[in-house]
């Protein structure tokens, strides 16, 4: 049975997230869009509140619990014979609401970085306990190595009880503010993708240096850094997952991170698009354009017809996002669904936000409203965590049953 509504047990969390977005994030959205690279100090109190709720068990947090392929979690309680709605679904729904407030501010939230999802997905029990409470960014992209993560050039060489990391990473979200960085590096370039592992590098480790902060089109409240690693030594215990190179498995362990983070990015796009739709509907109604859900779209004025089409696309993106998260909660392989959700939501997010700018005319193009900002913010959500084109390629491989070598 498929239910198309938010689970009842998560509605209080969703409501709380929406209140935070409306009363804390939306009011300072324009302020930190203009003050690029300035840290939003207002988030410290909010992050402390989230930590407190998580520790008390009253909330499942704004992060995610991770996708572990090897586990098939036993269900207990009222959901033991049916669906389990857990922290992954809670995460995407709460993130959707938070990004209704502001995507850049959500990405700036302490201890809720994409690297935290990587740790949750790949770390063993000892590592999960040791890195609990850290704020982790994630460093994957390199100069000349964009969407094809298998071509990573950064190396990690074992020297005694430490790995020595050398390489350059770019476009690292929270790269300057986070206190830890999850770095993707290869143990042996000749072994290809199978030798790629992820390492947790504490901020301030000798040999790790933030080179610069990027100036960006959107999500300007979030810091995006280039980081250089020169003979950077980390304990061998900081390698996430198994140090063994399994040529049959490839780098599935590292890639499991994406099964977790892609639905989160889809949630960001869904939230930003919903904000644009809500405001555009208000503006259209003020202009005398009424959207009638009881009449076919082609019988209504052009603006209303376009709005209905955008809202239908948005609904599809949301449902794909929820499906991918639900599968993670129920320990079902969700690589295909995670990529489908990311591809759909990324494309819909850009289409919806820019179309809303057009529907609102000069009001949408001016800084008097946030529509133009949401149009700028949403574009990155179709790019990072795997571009639109890469997601379509992954989906095609999964559907056709072909390997990356067979379908490039």
Distance (Å, whole) CA 338 – CA 332? 11
Q: How far, in Å, CA of 117 to CA of 73, rounded?
A: 18
Residues 265/342, Cβ–Cβ less than 8 Å:
yes
Number of H helices, E strands in the chain: 13, 8
* CA separation for the pair 68, 73 (Å, rounded): 10
- Report the phi/psi class of residue 82: left, alpha or beta, with left for phi > 0 and alpha for psi in -120 to 50: beta
**97 is annotated as an active-site residue:** no
Per the residue annotation, which of 97, 168, 337, 385 is the catalytic one? 385
Where does residue 14 rank: exposed (0-12), middle (13-18), buried (19+ CB within 10 A)? middle
Among candidate residues 108, 137, 131, the one with its CA nearest the CA of residue 32 = 108
Query: What is the four-CA torsion angle of 95, 11, 349, 174, rounded to 10 degrees?
Result: 0
User: Alpha carbon 343 to chain centroid distance?
Assistant: 13
Residue for token pair 């869904």: 270
Q: Which residues pair with 209 in a beta bridge?
A: 228
Burial of 36 (0-12, 13-18, 19+ CB in 10 A): middle
Maximum C-alpha span of the chain: 73
**Residues with active-site annotation:** 385
């Amino acid at each position: 049975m498929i239910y198309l509504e938010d689970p009842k047990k998560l509605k209080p969390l969703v409501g709380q997230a929406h209140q935070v977005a409306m009363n804390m994030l939306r009011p300072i959205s324009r302020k930190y869009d203009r003050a690029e690279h300035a840290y939003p100090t207002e988030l410290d109190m909010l992050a402390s509140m989230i930590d407190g709720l998580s520790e008390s068990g009253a909330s499942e947090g704004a992060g995610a619990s991770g996708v572990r392929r090897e586990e098939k979690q036993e269900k207990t309680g009222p959901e033991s014979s049916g669906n389990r709605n857990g922290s992954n679904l809670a995460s995407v729904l709460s993130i959707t609401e938070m990004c209704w407030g502001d995507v850049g501010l959500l990405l700036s939230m302490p201890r809720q970085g994409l690297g935290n999802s990587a740790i949750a997905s790949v770390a063993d029990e000892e590592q999960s306990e040791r890195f609990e409470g850290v704020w982790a960014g994630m460093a994957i992209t390199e100069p000349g190595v964009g969407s094809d993560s298998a071509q990573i050039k950064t190396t990690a060489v074992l020297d005694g009880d430490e790995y020595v990391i050398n390489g350059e990473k770019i476009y690292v979200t929270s790269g300057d503010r986070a206190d830890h960085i999850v770095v993707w590096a290869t143990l042996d370039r000749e072994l290809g993708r199978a030798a790629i592992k992820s390492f947790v590098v504490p901020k301030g480790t000798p040999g790790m240096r933030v080179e610069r902060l990027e100036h960006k089109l959107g999500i300007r409240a979030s810091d995006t850094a280039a980081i250089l690693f020169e003979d950077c030594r980390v304990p061998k215990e900081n390698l996430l997952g198994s140090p063994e190179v399994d040529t049959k498995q490839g780098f599935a362990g590292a890639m499991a991170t994406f099964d977790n983070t892609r639905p989160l990015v889809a949630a960001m796009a869904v939230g930003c698009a919903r904000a644009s739709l809500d405001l555009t509907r208000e503006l259209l109604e003020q202009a005398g354009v009424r959207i009638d859900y009881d009449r076919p779209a082609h019988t209504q004025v052009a603006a209303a017809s376009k709005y209905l089409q955008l809202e239908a696309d948005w609904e599809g993106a949301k449902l794909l996002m929820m499906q991918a998260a639900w599968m993670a909660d129920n320990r079902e392989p969700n690589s295909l669904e995670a990529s489908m959700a990311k591809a759909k939501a990324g494309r819909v997010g850009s289409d919806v936000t820019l179309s809303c700018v057009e529907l609102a005319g000069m009001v949408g193009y001016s800084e008097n409203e946030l529509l133009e900002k949401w149009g700028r913010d949403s574009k990155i959500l179709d790019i990072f965590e795997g571009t639109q084109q890469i997601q379509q390629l992954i989906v095609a491989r999964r559907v056709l049953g072909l390997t990356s070598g067979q379908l490039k």
